[in-house]
Amino acid sequence: MCGIVGFTGVAGAVGILMEGLGNLEYRGYDSAGVSVFSEGKIRTVKARGRLQNLADRLKESPLEGSCGIGHTRWATHGEPSDINAHPHGTEKLSLVHNGIIENYVELREMLKEKGYSFVSQTDTEVAAKVLDFCYEGDPAAAIRRASGMMEGAFAFGILFADRPGEIYAVRRGSPLIAALSPEGNFITSDVTAVLRHTRRYFTLEPEEIVRLTADSAVVWGADGKEIQKEILTADWNVEQAQKGGFPHFMLKEIFEQPQALDSTIHPRVHTGLPSFASDGIPDGFFRDIDRVQVIACGTAMHAGMVGRMVIEKLARLPVDVDIASEFRYRDPILTPRHLVVVVSQSGETADTLAALRLAKDRGCPVLAIVNVAGSTIAREADHVLYTFAGPEIAVASTKAYSVQLGVLYLMGIRIALEKGQVSEEEARALISGLLDTVEKTKKCLEMAEPIRKIAETYRETGSLFFIGRGFDYPLCCEGSLKLKEISYIHCEAYAAGELKHGTISLITPGVPVVALATQGALLPKTLSNVKEVRARGASVLLICRESAHPEEDLFAHRISLPEADDLFMPLLSVIPLQLLSYYAAVCRGCDVDKPRNLAKSVTVE
């Protein structure tokens, strides 16, 4: 996600801002910029790409001054470019932003009617011009009024042209803190950026507004009254700070899933119905599609397997799912009425990109579900549905998988609407169920400690099986990949009903079996498969709903999930699978974030 740094003090601001942005590079970004009070005006320099590009620009047009704001952008709305880079501003102000303004389209239309024009594709430029529209000389009042007009998550750093030396900040949903030092005061997305200068900081609660000068800090509460903040001391080192206090990026990203799902789903729900209009995909787009072909690799392909079941179940539209490296060599049967959906976190996976190009050669419309804005797959697809998980640093994909599911659920409900398979009322009920389930993912995260204890029983395990039926089967595939790729334990995912056709010969006393039994409709069948492996001595971890009442002797361990519709259980069941693999890898001393032999993005065939 984006990084924000602001400084007002006695030293030159640009050097301190660039150093701070450098400390935030780990968050992932695709462009950067700074605004500084220089020679009595706000001057802004920004550049696409690495920070070095910005540094080069600053060499060409140096900015002298001791108060400024800086930003590294992780693109959400609008591709990476100089124009879309932050800061954004007007004659009155300059602003940097981390988050997503969900109602930016409506606000932009309102502002256009007031005479504003826009040069970028970003929600941030809209936010800056909303603030401009509200500003009548009182910064805090303007910020309060503008914030009240915006829906979604934001952290803003702001300079007002008629307030030299002052930095203002406000947040809702995105992180932002203020830090104090003898040489000046800071705002930043996380304390990593300024640890070399100070460890003294205070946090901002949602809607609180702060004004910093070189030697003062004033905070107003949501009600406009001045408040005192407790000064805290950061006892983290830089590496810990980058992980937000988590021991590994993977665990941090597992815990970011509820927020990532909210950021991805909420902007695509209007009057309770799914819509991709803000993504440039008009309502009615899916109506004439005869078939969907999903293509992806690894975890993204497992998301596609769930997506197939969702779309076929709701829209009664045939869906195929293929591993990209196979699809591209099997001379597939495709027509222009096939919608090809490529799923990719990085948007750079060579096999998936090659499959996309093949589909386009065959005249198929290609829709990409991608997490990295401006990536090659995003640029070459005909349509893009971005996921808003923020940068995924750990090699093992977790939050990207969940938000891919989020988009596929929205797509399944949207297609079902357009195909007349569900009424608007039924679609609203489905959306409500989806959002309720997203909320329940937080309860699943609370099970981390008991799951850690179960995972430690796998410390010496040589081989393990995942079994499940219906939606549980693709989840077993994902759980198996997670466990293999980071703990190096060999394991296999098997359709529970298929085990008896051969593989059950490998089930001997003590062999661990993870049985996924979340599908209410299939529970008796899956439990009969659990009995089969128990009869051969398997040690079973049963993952099922809290409402299930299986015989106690069927399992050695049980993980009970909150209740949700069978359709949405994948959003819940994937979390214990992720945590299981994480803790198994930790107790086996593996390099969790950078597993051996693996890369975050496989850009070779």
- Give the residue numbers annotated as catalytic, written as ranges: 2, 600
Contact between 299 and ligand AGP per CB under 6 A: yes
Phi and psi at residue 10, to the nearest 5°: -100, -15
Q: What does the block give as tokens for 567?
A: 């359709």
Instruction: Write the secondary structure of 281-345 as one string of H (helix), E (strand) and C (coil).
Output: CCCCCCCCCCEEEEEECHHHHHHHHHHHHHHHHHHCCCEEEEEHHHHCCCCCCCCCCEEEEEEEC
Tell me if 369 sits within 8 A of 406, measured CB to CB. Answer: no
510, 462 Cβ separation under 8 angstroms: no
Under the criterion CB under 6 A, does residue 601 sit at the interface with ligand AGP? yes
Total residues interacting with ligand AGP, rule: CB under 6 A: 15
Residue 352 binds ligand AGP (CB under 6 A) = yes
- 190 versus 351: smaller Cβ distance to ligand AGP: 351
Q: Least separation, in Å, of the C-beta of 598 and ligand AGP? A: 6
Question: How near is the Cβ of 475 to ligand AGP at its closest, in Å?
Answer: 14
Q: Does 44 bind ligand AGP (CB under 6 A)?
A: no
Residue 521 DSSP SS3 = helix
Q: Which among 253-261, 304-312, 339-347, 536-544 is the span making contact with ligand AGP, rule CB under 6 A?
A: 339-347
Judged by CB under 6 A, does residue 548 bind ligand AGP? Answer: no
> Least CB distance from residue 301 to ligand AGP, whole Å?
8
Query: Quick one: 524 exposed, middle or buried, by C-beta within 10 A (0-12, 13-18, 19+)?
Result: exposed
At residue 180, φ and ψ (nearest 5 deg) are -120, 135
CA Rg value for the chain = 25
**Which residue's CB is nearer to ligand AGP, number 132 or number 351?**
351
Question: Beta strand 200-203 with 177-181: parallel, antiparallel or unpaired?
Answer: antiparallel
Count CB atoms within 10 A of the CB of residue 178: 25
| Identity of the residue, 135 or 401, whose beta carbon is nearer to ligand AGP in the bound complex | 401
Cβ atoms of 532 and 494 closer than 8 Å? no
Q: From residue 390 to residue 409, what is the string marking binding to ligand AGP with x (rule CB under 6 A)?
A: -----xxx------------
Helices (H), 381-513: 399-418, 424-445, 448-456, 472-487
350 sits near ligand AGP (criterion: CB under 6 A): no
Per CB under 6 A, 561 contacts ligand AGP: no
The tokens describing 140, both together, are: 């805090």
HSE, CB side, 13 Å, CA atoms: give it for residue 193: 34
To the nearest whole angstrom, how small is the minimum distance from the Cβ of residue 449 to ligand AGP? 24
In contact, 189 and 27? CB cutoff 8 Å? yes
Q: Of 20 and 298, which has the nearer Cβ to ligand AGP?
A: 298
Closest CA to 287 of 203, 215, 365: 365
- Contact between 581 and ligand AGP per CB under 6 A: no
**Interacting residue with ligand AGP among 94, 189, 346, 529 (CB under 6 A):** 346
Element (H, E) at 89: strand 88-89
Coil, helix or strand at residue 416: helix
Three-class secondary structure of residue 492 per DSSP: strand
516 forms part of the interface with ligand AGP (CB under 6 A) = no
Tell me whether residue 174 or residue 299 sits nearer to ligand AGP (CB atom). Answer: 299
Residue 298 within binding range of ligand AGP, rule CB under 6 A = yes
Under rule CB under 6 A, residue 602 binds ligand AGP: yes
Q: Return the SS3 of 19.
A: helix
Which token pair is 232? 């805290």
In this chain, which stretch among 177-185, 216-224, 292-300, 328-336 interacts with ligand AGP, using CB under 6 A? 292-300
Minimum distance from residue 24 beta carbon to ligand AGP (Å): 23
Which of 142, 232, 227 lies closest to 180, judged by CA? 232
Longest Cα separation, the chain: 81
Shortest distance, position 344 Cβ to ligand AGP, whole Å: 3
Choose the stretch contacting ligand AGP; rule: CB under 6 A; options: 226-234, 297-305, 431-439, 540-548: 297-305
Question: Does 345 sit near ligand AGP (CB under 6 A)?
Answer: yes
Kindly report whether the peptide bond that precedes residue 267 is cis, defined as omega within 30 degrees of 0.
Answer: no
Distance of CA 559 to the CA centre of its chain: 25
CB of 287 to ligand AGP, least distance (A): 29
**Residue with smallest beta-carbon separation from ligand AGP:** 298
What string marks each residue from 469 to 488 as x (binds ligand AGP by CB under 6 A) or -? Answer: ----------------x---
Alpha carbons 480 and 490: distance in angstroms, whole number: 8
Tell the smallest beta-carbon distance from residue 605 to ligand AGP (Å).
12
| Of residues 32 and 75, the one with the C-beta less far from ligand AGP | 75
- Residues between 209 and 238 with contacts to ligand AGP, criterion CB under 6 A: none
Kindly state whether residue 341 participates in binding ligand AGP, applying the rule CB under 6 A.
no
- The least distance separating ligand AGP from the CB of residue 250, rounded to whole angstroms, comes to 9
Q: Could you say whether residue 87 binds ligand AGP (CB under 6 A)?
A: no
Question: Can residue 349 be called a binding residue for ligand AGP (CB under 6 A)?
Answer: yes
- From the list 584, 500, 569, 570, the residue with the least C-alpha distance to 535 is 500
User: Looking at 222-230, 294-302, 327-335, 514-522, which segment touches ligand AGP (CB under 6 A)?
Assistant: 294-302
Show contacts with ligand AGP in window 90-149 (CB under 6 A): none
Residue number with CB closer to ligand AGP (69 or 356): 356
Taking CB under 6 A as the binding criterion, the range among 61-69, 179-187, 389-397, 459-467 that sits at the site for ligand AGP is 389-397
- At CA 599, angle to CA 449 and CA 601, rounded to 5? 105
If the CB atoms of residues 124 and 344 are measured against ligand AGP, the closer one turns out to be 344
Nearer to ligand AGP, 124 or 349 (CB): 349
Per-residue DSSP letter, 164:
T
User: Which CB, 179 or 306, lies closer to ligand AGP?
Assistant: 306
Q: Which of 344, 402, 518, 529 binds ligand AGP (CB under 6 A)?
A: 344
Smallest gap from residue 403 Cβ to ligand AGP (A) = 11
* CB-based contact 353:376 (threshold 8 Å): yes
Q: Is 585 in the site for ligand AGP (CB under 6 A)?
A: no
Q: How buried is 423 (Cβ within 10 angstroms: 0-12 exposed, 13-18 middle, 19+ buried)? A: exposed
For the bound state, the minimum distance from the C-beta of residue 326 to ligand AGP, rounded and expressed in Å, comes to 14
- H or E segment at 404? helix 399-418
How do 338-344 and 366-370 pair as beta strands? parallel
Min dist. Cβ of residue 346 to ligand AGP (A): 3
Note whether 144 and 101 are within 8 A (CB).
Answer: no
> Residue numbers of the site for ligand AGP (CB under 6 A)?
297-300, 344-346, 349, 352, 395-397, 485, 601-602
